[in-house]
Amino acid sequence: MPALSSSLAENRLHPSAQTHQTVTTVAVSTEGYSDNGACGKRKSEVLGSGPGGVVPIGAFEVSKGKRLLQVGLAVAYCLFAAGVVFGYAALKPVMIREGIYRDKCTEKEIEKGSRVCYEQEIRLNFMFTLAAVATNVCALLVGTVLDRYGPRVSGIIGSMLFALGCLGFSLAKQIRNFDPYPISYLLLALGGPFIFISSFHLSNAFPSHSGLILSMLTGAFDSSSAVFLLYRLLYEHTHGKLTLSTWFAAYLIVPATALILQLTLMPSGSYKTVGELVCQAEVEEELLHEDRDSGDYIEVDDDELRLRHERRSSLIHEIDSLLGGKDAKATNDRKLEQSHESSGVWGAMHGMPINRQICSWWFVLITLFTMIQMIRINYFVATIRPQYEFLLGSYHRAVEVNEFFDLALPIGGILAVPLIGYLLDRYSTLVILQILVALAAIIGSLGIVKDSYPAAIAGIIGFVAYRPFYYTAVSDYAAKVFGFETFGKVYGLIICLAGLLNLSQTGLDALTLRVFRKDPRPVDFGLLTASVVAGCALVGYVWRSGRRIKRFRLGLEAEGAREEIMPGGSLSGYGGV
């Protein structure tokens, strides 16, 4: 993808990818510096300590081979730990065959030969619901730990939480005082984001390829749902001999390896961001000029002065090479400016106080749409087999659909990455939202068609491509509308609120199983209707507000009042609609 994609890829990711900046500065004279660029109104040298008192690292200070190894290993352990809980649809059949919660079934249900009884279904689905909520709600916690203590501490915490989750599953049969399964699955869900998000800074190990690295990490997260698919296949191949306790005891090797890598090979601090590197290069260059203009030629030994100049010149050259040359920044800036103009909403709420942002319709409507979509997504993942058992009227065909979904979910997440990048880089936010709402309506409609195997397969193909597109588009919207200064708080709050609403999934399960006698269509249709209504309201608001923003900008241009636009693209005279 073009250079623009790197910047947009960062915009689309988790809030901590934006909020966790290792900006550690030493203020010096402000003469000679404009308001533009990474240094802004001050000269800043990235010399101080970052999160946890650890000095941030310039990528040029570490050998290329070591940086490649760090990125490769981070992608590997994210593949095996970051998002395994979302492979629940593959793990659930194994838990049922292992007899988990079978003791909660009534005698009448057992006599009828029910494969899954009511209480068993509710408890198993609650386990996933709790994990999905925790994954989203802990976003703010992970960001706080990253900002305060750095990526190494975050990675260590994630490895330990994940290890405790594996340990809980491996010892579950021996635990009598409490129910170990939801707690253990919760620990796996909490450990994943700590491990995953602490790896984001590695994109700065190769700044000119940051978009590719972030895409690889995101792809590893999506693909990690295949871990439980692999386990289910091994379980079936061994005819049930590879039990849950055996699998999770062996799987302790994953968090143990991640922990060892965090303590040894992985950097103790974050790699410096592009902005910090640019600022450092500007400072070094300015200091070179200051040395020449000052009296240092008289006061300092010639050899010492020459060595200092060589060091600074070498440092500037290394930073320029790392960033792709001196012309790369100017080219990227032009492309970003074109992207901001074409988005139609860039700067709508930039520079506004956080309380004004979250009280705006920009925030309320995207949060409402996100809440409904997230519960639709997680409800589908948790109940795919019983849904299609009813819709197709066959348990065996439902198993086939479930198995296809288990395989398609990680593959779809990977294959969708370049398409998502293409759409977000080339189309306005309004068009992206229209596509989201249209796809939500189509996929939702396919999900309530009865006795149609092709409709079931088409719906799943659409779902596995839609899921990463939806999450990415929401973060892209938040970055463009609210700006990076409050991105972490705003996006984190959106995801946190949406995650909390997922607790209502247990009520939806009860409605489907008891009130509608296992017919998923009423609940699915209700969620479909709600998402279309919320989506249309969002699209309508963005369309109307986008026109007002465009008229406002045209008015500024006509009056030659470009200086009224605040640094960073904020619309100082625009009220946020």
Q: Using one digit for the tens of pLDDT, what is the confidence trace for 272-286?
A: 765 565 665 555 556
pLDDT score of 188 more than 60: yes
Is residue 60 assigned to a domain?
yes
Given this model, what pLDDT does residue 324 score?
58
Residues 303, 173 share a domain: no
Domain-embedded: residue 515: yes
Q: State which residues form the domain around 469.
A: 337-555
Strand partners, 218: none
Whether 209 and 314 map to the same domain: the answer is no
Q: Between these two residues, 148 and 296, which has the higher pLDDT value? A: 148
Question: Are 419 and 371 contained in the same domain?
Answer: yes
5-19, 44-58, 281-295, 331-345 — which is least confidently predicted? 5-19
| Mean pLDDT, range 47-54, rounded to an integer | 52
Based on the domain organization, do 100 and 240 belong to the same domain? yes
* Residue 353, domain member (yes or no): yes
Residues with Cβ within 8 Å of residue 76, at least 6 apart in sequence: 220
Residues 388 and 315 in one domain: no
Model confidence at 400: pLDDT above 80: yes
Residue 28 lies in a domain: no
Q: What is the pLDDT of residue 472?
A: 81
CB neighbour class for 472 (10 Å; exposed up to 12, middle 13-18, buried from 19): buried
Number of other residues whose CB lies within 10 A of the CB of residue 262: 24
pLDDT digits (tens, 9 = 90+) for 545-565: 888 877 766 665 566 544 545
Same domain, residue pair 246 and 185: yes
Give the number of domains in the chain: 3
Which residue, of 262, 293, 324, is where some domain finishes? Answer: 324
Instruction: Select from 324, 359, 387 the last residue of a domain.
Output: 324
- Do 152 and 281 lie in one domain? The reply is no
10 Å CB burial of residue 144 (0-12, 13-18, 19+) is: middle
Residue 17 domain flag: no
Query: Of the ranges 207-216, 303-312, 342-351, 469-478, which is most confident?
Result: 469-478
Nearest by Cα to 258 from 156, 145, 143, 190: 156
Which backbone phi and psi does 495 adopt, to 5 degrees? Answer: -70, -35
Q: How far apart are the first and last CA of the chain?
A: 34
User: In terms of DSSP bridges, do strands 26-27 and 44-45 run parallel, antiparallel, or are they unpaired?
Assistant: antiparallel
Task: Judge whether 574 lies within some domain.
Answer: no
**Are 96 and 222 part of one and the same domain?**
yes
173 and 208 fall within a common domain: yes
Q: For residue 169, what is the domain's CATH number?
A: 1.20.1250.20
pLDDT at 29: 32
Between residues 304 and 7, the one the model is more confident about: 304
Q: Same structural domain for residues 364 and 454?
A: yes
Per residue in 127-177, pLDDT (tens digit) is: 999 998 888 888 778 877 887 888 899 999 999 999 999 999 999 999 988
Three-state SS string over 505-558 comes to HHHHHHHHHHHCCCCCHHHHHHHHHHHHHHHHHHHHHHHHHHHHHHHHHHHHHH
Domain identity same for 281 and 295: yes
The confidence score (pLDDT) of residue 256 equals 97
- Let me know if residue 21 belongs to a domain: no
Q: What does pTM read for this prediction?
A: 0.74
Q: Please give the mean pLDDT across all residues of the chain.
A: 79
Evaluate whether residue 331 is within a structural domain: no
470: tokens are 């939806």
pLDDT value for 58: 73
Under 8 Å CB-to-CB from 34, ≥6 apart: which residues?
A: none
* Cα 339 to Cα 333: distance, rounded to the nearest angstrom: 10
Structure tokens at 259: 């922990």
Q: Is residue 277 domain-shared with residue 359, that is, in the same domain?
A: no
Which of 236, 254, 271 is the C-terminal boundary of a domain?
271
